[in-house]
Amino acid sequence: FGGTSVSSVANWRNIAQVAVARRAEGARVLIVHSALSGMTDRLERLLDVARTEAQEEGLREIELCHRRLAADLGIELGEVIECQLAELRQIAAGVALIGEVSDRTRARVMSAGELMATDLGARFLAAQGLEAEWADARTMLGAEERANASAKASILSAVCSFAPDHVLEQRLRAMAPVIVTQGFIASDADGNTVLLGRGGSDTSAAYLAAKLRARRLEIWTDVPGMFSANPRQVPTARLLRALHYDEAQE
């Protein structure tokens, strides 16, 4: 699920319905999703050393977006997100002081959007009565060493293996039947957070589907339902299933 598909309570009702429907088909469900819409850009703007005076407002907006969605979802903002916000504040202050940003710091800050959004998502689904559990994508997706990639590319646009991973399969099988994890983020051999490049959530979902030999991969992003193909590339793509609710009524 892309950013626009996880940013409202209406979206989350749809996600819950999709998960329930897939469970009814006997599937175990791994939900991979993005940060809230616009969040990754906001996080990146915190690192703009030329505009550190805008950090305060940026931090406030980031907090407000998550607070609002949490309130709409009827859940607490929660400790995990409070901690992430506190850490972002500290890093932003450090960046303003030092006047430069390493690629590692950039990856760490930009990963916060997915980490916070999935925390809300997993708790919302559990509150709806689903057997749902949060998982850290960085423990599932390890970046591959690439001999000819720059250090920057290895950190900000990493590549992962998509060979079947039986150990991962076993590990997830022992967890709840609905698992919520982050798109966009992975870890390197030293356990540092790395990114898969902007828009990388779909890539994460594809990697995980391949690793887990999933029966099906569904990409829900910026569309009014599930299409037979990417409607931006295939003009004749058909709407297979509309969303269950009327967004206009929300």
30 φ, ψ to 5°?
A: -115, 110
Interface size with ligand ASP, residues (CB under 6 A): 12
Of 67-75, 132-140, 199-207, 209-217, the window that binds ligand ASP (rule: CB under 6 A) is 199-207
Of 15-23, 34-42, 98-106, 226-234, the window that binds Mg ion (rule: CB under 5 A) is 34-42
Tokens coding 184: 């966009």
Looking only at the bridges linking them, the beta strands covering 239-242 and 225-227 are: antiparallel
Tokens coding 144: 């591959």
Listing DSSP states for 12-57 in one string gives: HHHHHHHHHHHHHTT--EEEEE-PSTTHHHHHHHTT-GGGGGGHHH
Q: Which one of residues 70, 183, 186, 207 is an interface residue with ligand ASP (CB under 6 A)? A: 183
> By CB under 6 A, is residue 199 in contact with ligand ASP?
yes
> By CB under 6 A, is residue 34 in contact with ligand ASP?
yes
Task: Restricting to residues 184-213, name those near Mg ion by CB under 5 A.
Answer: none
Closest approach of ligand ASP to the CB of residue 247, in Å = 20
Q: Which one of residues 58, 121, 177, 200 is an interface residue with ligand ASP (CB under 6 A)? A: 200
202 φ, ψ to 5°?
A: -60, -40
Task: Restricting to residues 84-143, name those near ligand ASP by CB under 6 A.
Answer: 113
In terms of Cα–Cα distance, which of 116, 137, 133 is closest to 207? Answer: 137
In this complex, which beta carbon is closest to ligand ASP, that of residue 3 or of residue 177? Answer: 3
> By CB under 5 A, is residue 183 in contact with Mg ion?
no
In this complex, which beta carbon is closest to ligand ASP, that of residue 3 or of residue 58? Answer: 3
- What is the C-alpha to C-alpha distance for residues 96 and 113, in angstroms, rounded to an integer? 20
13 close to 245: Cβ distance less than 8 angstroms = yes
Binding site for ligand ASP (CB under 6 A): 2-3, 34-35, 40, 113, 183-184, 198-201
Binding site for Mg ion (CB under 5 A): 3, 34
